[in-house]
Amino acid sequence: MKGMDSSEITLGVVGAGAMGGGIAQVAAAAGIRTRLHDARQGAAAETCEKIRDRFAKRVTAGKMSAEEANVATANLLPVAGLNELADCDVVIEAIVEKLEVKTALFKELEELVREDAILASNTSSLPIGAIAAGLKRRDRVAGMHFFNPVPAMKLVEVIQAADTSAVVMDALIELGGRLGRVPVVVKDTPGFLVNFGGRAYTTEALAIVHEGVATPAQVDAIMRDCFGFRMGPFELMDLTGMDVNFPVTRFVHENFFGDPRLRSTPLHRYMLETGQLGRKTGQGFYDHSDGAVTPSTDAEVNAPPAEAIFVHSETPKLSRLIEACGARVLVEDDGQSPVLAAPVGEDASAYAVRNGIDHRRLVCVDTVSDCEQRVTIMAAPGHDAEMVATVVACFAQKRQVSLIGDSPGFVGQRIAAMVANLGCEMAQMGLAKIDDIDLALRLGLNYPYGPLELADHLGSKVTYRILEQAQLLSGDDRYRPSQWLRRRAQLGLSARTG
């Protein structure tokens, strides 16, 4: 196989859709001779023309010189037949996500290309080993999974199947770097790193809405304001589309033999079945039509603010928050004022019973989350609504307030702990290096923290307690802590300890 540092390398791309076109664009711009093929007549030529237009726009914007654009354009060639890829050093497939279609293509390519050529699939979740299973030379097949839009997304997962040779892996890692991507080596597993690890963020948000704990808009606001995510989970699903994210979620869940930690909800399926796909149809979890009203995320203020509050248990962060919002923290419970607490993993009902507190006066505050911009509060069934309203009014003087239904782990604790737990499970399975798991989810999903970094941000003991309590109170093994997390929490170690 030719060295990837050679300026003479020729890359073939099969599939002229968004992914194949994106791969061809970054390859041509990187100085690689690139041939683009699509089974649909004229599609490759049409995509190449669009790529040339993008180069021209980059020149106009000062992001590319005219000379660079000319060289990149010269590197790009649409080809009508697969046989015109015969002398390529690497061929990357980027066609429909159907195993039988991919395997048929790879068998055809195997008969056309040289013995030392590499065949790679851009599949987002199908097993590379299954794609290669019927080939004579399975050792030269690997995965090279880019992310959409390819020119903007810097990650590429390089997937090693059981028979993939080290030489092929080294060559594709080098190629990924030359294409300006950050290559991360991943084991051949359903969903690889990003599509597997990314399940927790959206499925736990769906579970929260399914239980009536919060609205999609409330969930999104909490994850943006209290955990620093660029997009809330429902905004993200509307962006990618239910026709994309539901099938991937179902595929990963089924291929991990129904692991409850990967389970979605009937609402997710219903959105797909009713055509509420998100931005692409104008309606998803949000109304995207012109003039649509943005759903409210903040609790209504309809009472005077509480002036005195008793804090149950020693919780300095909660006491400081109350004082910052203008109320006085009582030294002793006066039997009349609101009682505030900051449970970890518990709901208000369980906390009240365990501590013998009058549930009518109890208001729980999530202090695991960042409270500088938004405060999340909840109360038990049968609570004193007027008293809760005074607490809302108190916090609303200085913060935005989300009032949610009673829930083990509030909203933010639950979602963050589930993201962290799935990252710990990936580390336990050895899907990639610990640093690469975090890197892949930061780059591939724009998370503010990688999942193991998030576990450390919360604290491994806190993360473990959230999950442990949620599993205990719900009876659902969805919250089963990863053994990787349990061991490190019990030993007081970082979740990133190897």
Domain boundary among 355, 372, 404: 404
Cα separation values, 74 from 55, 56, 64, Å: 12, 13, 15
Q: Count CA atoms closer than 13 A to 117's CA, side-chain side.
A: 22
Token duo for residue 27: 């390859």
Q: Are residues 217 and 176 in the same domain?
A: no
Domain boundary among 404, 425, 449: 404
Q: Are residues 17 and 104 in the same domain?
A: yes
pLDDT in tens, 436-448: 999 999 999 999 9
Q: Are residues 273 and 394 in the same domain?
A: no
Residue 464 lies in a domain: no
Average pLDDT, the chain: 96
- Our answer to whether residue 195 is catalytic in this structure is yes
Q: Are residues 126 and 101 in the same domain?
A: yes
Q: Are residues 319 and 175 in the same domain?
A: no
pLDDT in tens, 252-290: 999 999 999 999 999 999 999 999 999 999 999 999 999
- Our answer to whether residue 296 is catalytic in this structure is no
Residue 7 pLDDT exceeds 60? no
| Active-site hit among 110, 157, 235, 346 | 157
Residue 37 lies in a domain: yes
Residue 4 pLDDT exceeds 80? no
Mean pLDDT value of segment 187-203: 96
Residue 465 lies in a domain: no
Domain boundary among 188, 210, 225: 188
Token duo for residue 492: 């007081």
Residue 2 pLDDT exceeds 70? no
Q: Are residues 179 and 203 in the same domain?
A: no
CATH number of the domain bearing residue 253: 1.10.1040.50
Q: Are residues 107 and 166 in the same domain?
A: yes
Residue 34 lies in a domain: yes
Cα separation values, 127 from 121, 169, 252, 275, Å: 10, 16, 11, 29
Q: Are residues 61 and 101 in the same domain?
A: yes
What percent of the chain has pLDDT above 70? Answer: 99
Mean pLDDT value of segment 128-142: 97
- Our answer to whether residue 111 is catalytic in this structure is no
CB-based contacts of 35-38 (< 8 A; 24+ apart in sequence): 35/10, 35/11, 35/77, 35/78, 35/79, 35/84, 35/85, 35/88, 36/76, 36/77, 36/78, 36/79, 37/12, 37/13, 37/78, 37/79, 37/80, 37/81, 37/82, 37/84, 37/85, 38/14
Mean pLDDT value of segment 137-166: 97
Residue 258 lies in a domain: yes
Q: Are residues 124 and 82 in the same domain?
A: yes
pLDDT band at 8 (very low <50, low <70, confident <90, very high): confident
pLDDT at residue 45, as a whole number: 97
pLDDT at residue 314, as a whole number: 86
Residue 457 lies in a domain: no
Cβ within 8 Å of residue 491, ≥6 positions away: none
Residue 419 lies in a domain: no
User: Pick from 357, 390, 392, 356: which is nearest to 377 by CA?
Assistant: 392
Q: Are strands 182-187 and 155-160 parallel, antiparallel or unpaired?
A: parallel
Q: Are residues 263 and 325 in the same domain?
A: no
| Active-site hit among 75, 121, 125, 195 | 195
Q: What's the total number of domains in the chain?
A: 3
CATH number of the domain bearing residue 341: 3.40.50.720
- Three-state SS for the chain is CCCCCCCCCEEEEECCCHHHHHHHHHHHHCCCEEEEECCCCCHHHHHHHHHHHHHHHHHHCCCCCHHHHHHHHHHEEEECCHHHHCCCCEEEECCCCCHHHHHHHHHHHHHHCCCCCEEEECCCCCCHHHHHCCCCCHHHEEEEEECCCCCCCCEEEEEECCCCCHHHHHHHHHHHHHCCCEEEEEECCCCCCHHHHCHHHHHHHHHHHHCCCCCHHHHHHHHHHHHCCCCCHHHHHHHHCHHHHHHHHHHHHHHCCCCHHHCCCHHHHHHHHCCCCEHHHCECCCECCCCCCCCCCCCCCCCCCCCEEEECCCCHHHHHHHHHCCCEEECCCCCCCCEEECCCCCCHHHHHHHHCCCCCCEEEECCCCCCCCEEEEECCCCCCHHHHHHHHHHHHCCCEEEEECCCCCCCHHHHHHHHHHHHHHHHHHCCCCHHHHHHHHHHHHCCCCCHHHHHHHHCHHHHHHHHHHHHHHHCCHHHCCCHHHHHHHHCCCCCCCC
- Our answer to whether residue 145 is catalytic in this structure is yes
Q: Are residues 125 and 75 in the same domain?
A: yes
Residue 434 lies in a domain: no
pLDDT in tens, 290-348: 989 989 999 999 999 999 999 999 899 999 999 999 999 999 999 999 999 999 999 99
| Active-site hit among 75, 121, 124, 402 | 124
Q: Are residues 179 and 67 in the same domain?
A: yes
| Active-site hit among 37, 93, 145, 349 | 145
Domain of residue 314, residue span:
308-404
What percent of the chain has pLDDT above 90? Answer: 98
User: Pick from 363, 454, 382: which is nearest to 414 by CA?
Assistant: 454
